[in-house]
Structure 1
Amino acid sequence: MQEPLLKFYDDTGFEAQINALSKSDNHKIMRRITFPKTSQIDITKQPNYKDYTIHRGIYLDTETTGLLHDEDEVIQLCMLPFIYAKNPNSCHTVIFGVYEPYIAFQEPSQPLKPIITDITGITMEMLVGQSLDIEKIQNYLEKSEIIIAHNAAFDRPFTHAISSKFVEKNWACSFADIKWQEQGFESRKLGHLAADFGYYFDAHQADKDCYAGLAILLETNDEGISYFQQLIENSQMDSITLRAQGAAFDKKDVLKERGYIWKDGSDGISKGWEITVSEIESEEEKTWLTVNIYNGIPSYLEEIKCARTRYC
């Protein structure tokens, strides 16, 4: 793997120790993720830089009062803006700048459940009197072409309650839009991926989750292709959302294991287990549903989606 151009860590003062440990097969270096010390690189040093087009994006994370989009509320929002360049000829895509995030708390209408404080470290005292700056949020959105979240199917619906501007944007998911497991990763969870790349961070804090997500995307696979480039390419393709309505109750664990998530019907569609796959994968997935869930008589719903409509 290549060293990332932007580094979400700081080795200052420990270079000698890190160099020594990096030569040992009995040790692994774990770096705490922080905001980059150098937050922008010179894009003109890229080969054929004049061919690149410049784009802006946001890495986003929310902390909420619970998991239900129609009942729970956002209590913390982080929007981490970045700038990237794409070569339309080679498809090479590189993030070359990241900027200070917008991060804020919001007081919920009901007291926090103790489990939310246990998970996030956020207390009701931290939230009292706090609110999101909608005008500032919309200014961030106007400058951005794409929003990325780790599990966008969770974050995106919550943001729609904040501003309709979120509805109008293209979205990508660093959890679902990259074939992590096919590339040798055991888990797609953010903390596990970070550890695989030698990072650790304070999870379930919106800003730290954003730093971690972008740090992971800056890494490259064995072929020198960044996971960010994979994400952008995959997010631009149409996908197929399948909803397994009427599946037998005893099939729920099989569906969950395969990556399906439960939809309660609050979106106006029949309740059922849902998954989003690429067009190429859709025929295989429909066959799997027909054989393993419906005993040969399919009863799933199918919808074509793009970056604008995915993860709603």
Structure 2
Amino acid sequence: MTGRRRGAPSAFEPEAAARLLEAHGDYQVLRRLVPRVTAPSRPLMLGERVAVIVDTETTGLDHKHDEVIELGMVAFIHDATGTVLDVIDTFSALQEPSRAIGPEITRLTGITDAMVEGQCIDIDAVETFIEVADLVIAHNAAFDRPFCERLTRGFDPKPWGCSVKEVDWATHGFEGSKLGYLVGQSGLFHQGHRAVDDCHALLEVLAQTRPEQELTMLGHLLVRSEATRVRIWAEGAPYDLKDQLKRRGYRWDGGGDGRPRAWWVEVDEALAEAEIAYLEGEIYMRRVRPRAQRITACERYKAL
């Protein structure tokens, strides 16, 4: 009978093999992202807050005409520095839209008409879930917030944070801001483009601290989301200066719902007067007092 060689491992140990590969300069290892276990309910301690990460899958890009076909949410407790403490709840639901799901949407999300047939998101459950949230976070909040607010007005008064716009990923050593890039460069991989899976993935990316930094990525987001900004409208700006405005970061709004038809930009509150001075000196060539709107996290990322 042939016996096992002395000293040979009794079983394959994946983590030991991963560490061996990581020690070799020719390899990088990605580990499967394992969602955090939901912790038992507990009262908040001093300085702790609740945030909810939200992700939607939709039938298209236009919140006025397209519909949510999947909603995922992860609620968690964090402290003032952005340290993630406990996941306290998760939510995942599909919804049948009023028309067939396009093949491109199915290719991107994996969601088919058969999967959503007869499914409906429980709005009362959604409102209960987000009621305790001090902040709602989305990876591209300008997309998700309008769709969420169409589902329920419960999202409307909440402060929102955006993990695309409010974290300077490049400064922190990342090569892009797409969630897949962030997950991969964090040494992880996951099943992307399903709503709740993307919420778990974003939580792990935000929970990490980069080398030689004190704040987590979530901590950086909290600092930016709490800042007040000012939206300035360059109404009646000369048409031949539109390219100059675009280079400075201005965007065009076609007007409607009380908004002017004009170029606009959003700047930190401390920079608002300097931006108005720029418009006076470089665009209008005269003293002006343009329309300016203070924007907090409660108004930010609402549909224009």
Coarse TM-score class (shorter-chain normalised)? 0.7 to 0.9
Distance 2:205 2:112 in 1: 29
Q: Deviations over 1:207-246 (max 9, x none)?
A: 1211111111011122232011111121111012345667
Partner of 2:65 in structure 1? 71
Q: What is the number of equivalent residue pairs in this alignment?
A: 286
Quote how far apart the aligned CAs of 1:109 are.
Answer: 1.4
Summarize the Cα distance change of 1:220–1:253 in structure 2 as closer, same or farther, 3 Å threshold: farther
Larger-gyration structure (1/2): 2
1: CA distance between counterparts of 2:251 and 2:31? 33
The superposition leaves residues 157-192 of structure 1 with CA deviations (integer Å, 9 ceiling, x where unpaired) of 111111111001111111111122233333222112
Whether contact under 8 Å (2:276, 2:289) holds in the other structure is: no
Give the Cα separation in 2 of the matches to 1:242 and 1:64.
Answer: 31
Q: What is the aligned-residue identity percentage?
A: 33
Partner of 1:61 in structure 2? 55
Task: Give the aligned partner of residue 9 of structure 1.
Answer: none
After superposition, residues 100-111 of structure 1 pair within 5 angstroms as: 100-111=89-100
2:102 aligned residue:
113
Kindly tell me: are residues 77 and 303 of structure 1, through their superposed partners in 2, closer, same or farther at Cα, counting changes over 3 Å?
same
Once the two structures are superposed, what CA deviation does each residue of 1:239-291 show, in whole Å capped at 9, x if it has no partner? 12345667869968994x88766655454413556554433455676688889
Q: CA deviation at 1:120?
A: 1.1
**Residue ranges of structure 1 left out of the alignment (5+ in a row):** 1-11, 44-49, 87-91
How far apart in 1 are the matches of 2:300 and 2:56?
18
Q: Does structure 2 retain, via aligned residues, the 8 Å contact 1:245–1:300?
A: yes
C-alpha distance in 2 between matches for 1:204 and 1:283: 41
Q: Report the equivalent of 1:279.
A: 269
TM-score where L is the length of structure 1: 0.78
**Equivalent position of 1:179 in the other structure:** 168
| Counterpart mapping for 1:1-312 below 5 A | 13-36=13-36, 38-39=37-38, 52-86=46-80, 92-222=81-211, 223-242=213-232, 255=246, 263-271=253-261, 275-280=265-270, 302-312=292-302
Structure 1 position 80, deviation (Å): 0.7
Q: TM-score, normalised by structure 2?
A: 0.80
Alpha carbons of 1:113 and 1:219: their partners in 2 closer, same or farther (altered >3 Å)?
A: same
Going from structure 1 to structure 2, the CA distance change for 1:119 and 1:81 (only over 3 Å counts) comes to same
The answer on whether the counterparts of 1:107 and 1:128 sit within 8 Å (CA) in structure 2 is yes
| 1:300 positional shift | 7.4
